[in-house]
Structure 1
């Protein structure tokens, strides 16, 4: 098949594009190469993808609709996967406008593109952050999610809402998947695992927020990609509505639209995560314990039952093995 994927120089987009290329598909990658973090890392990811004759890259911002149109002409996509976004919870406190530009205007441009192209399936990356202040655990897709804690989460929930309206009005089959703390090789330098490994190896203190009493439903990158690949083949329709009293399907009654968690449902305490990193790096961290930061939540915990019902798959990588693979990559890369 032919794919248009946004964010292919990013962590998740790189891994998804590589998997699809390895499976024999044609991929056009679209990325803005923004300097939110080291552009050299993004360029190295794209360089790996460009080893394949099945990959073509277009460098431009999501806000540039004409550039998206050029990428679409090159791709002639059967499937569009929209992963590009301004990420980072804490950065949204410093530069909220970048989230509006990328996650709202940029995502609107993707929706307009899908309206014009009518792909077989449009898939959009959302986040567990949309659950915001919810206290019910685990987070199920059918839970109310109207109390986002950051502008980042608010823009992602808004994207979901816009996508539903486009699915309804223009009959674009759409799946929005909510990620839960993705980690692994080639990860972003602003994420906890990368920062902790880098700091410990270089004898710098690590900042542990919430006094270490937080927990996260960590999802290893290969598991996430497997979930996405399987969902690509599950085009939202009444034919695949889940009929189970135990699992509530989010398939809309008014549109070919569905929201799906991609998480394993196994939250890990932050201090266990830190201790695992210390053991694998081979030295203790200099720990700087700090209070909760604005926008943080104490716990994320996915209900993966809908993902399992639709695909037969659930992320199951043990955090110890996932961190080991990241540390090995980091030591080789740096």
Structure 2
């Protein structure tokens, strides 16, 4: 979340009237995240999140929004987009697409314990199962095709050592995608960005999964790898925490056991997940967009994790 477009209180109030919602009591911008403009909006009866999409188009957004509604209808703890009297959930605001969803209770957990990781693993497996009959199709927008498009651009912005790492890892991932084991991996709609700040807890109870705007159809294992690289990595050492990883995977497999190909390719897919977020963070640092409130993430974090997963020396 971020604020690229500043809205007045009156603009938000008019948008809420159009949806038949109550009059706002408070409106405040949200600084976390880097893709969309977000505001927390409280009315007398409910709390909402208003999102204006700075990058995604009216044509792209139905996949994400209807995926959320699909999951919400199956009792998953996800935001449910608000429809107007005609059943429409996506509307123009300042010539951009905008949506309002209910704000889920709880807060993110910056220092998760094994119990938190277990809850996330179980929830992710249920999300994959609940999404298995979602009918819409859209490729992972930050998947292999995007990696191949941006590596040459980023290579002009980084050191020679980093260019070599970009090139060799991209070659590895391209070869992996052509392998028979990779083609056997179960696929479906995935969250693709299930970091600590996108999961909410009330104490140790998982109360919400948010921010589906990088979702797409890909291997389910990629979703698992993204989680392992964030939830089960110690912040200072960048080393995987064995207890948390075991808790996450054990809970996931209690709901959806992994296939033999998934077990075999999990280390390679963790490299893929680290590579994807190193690329996107490099992009945000070297080719930034303007925002009123924006805090780009440090790309070196995932560079270190990638080096660790490759068995190479991770920079201190």
TM-score between both structures, scaled by the size of structure 2? 0.30
TM-score between both structures, scaled by the size of structure 1? 0.29
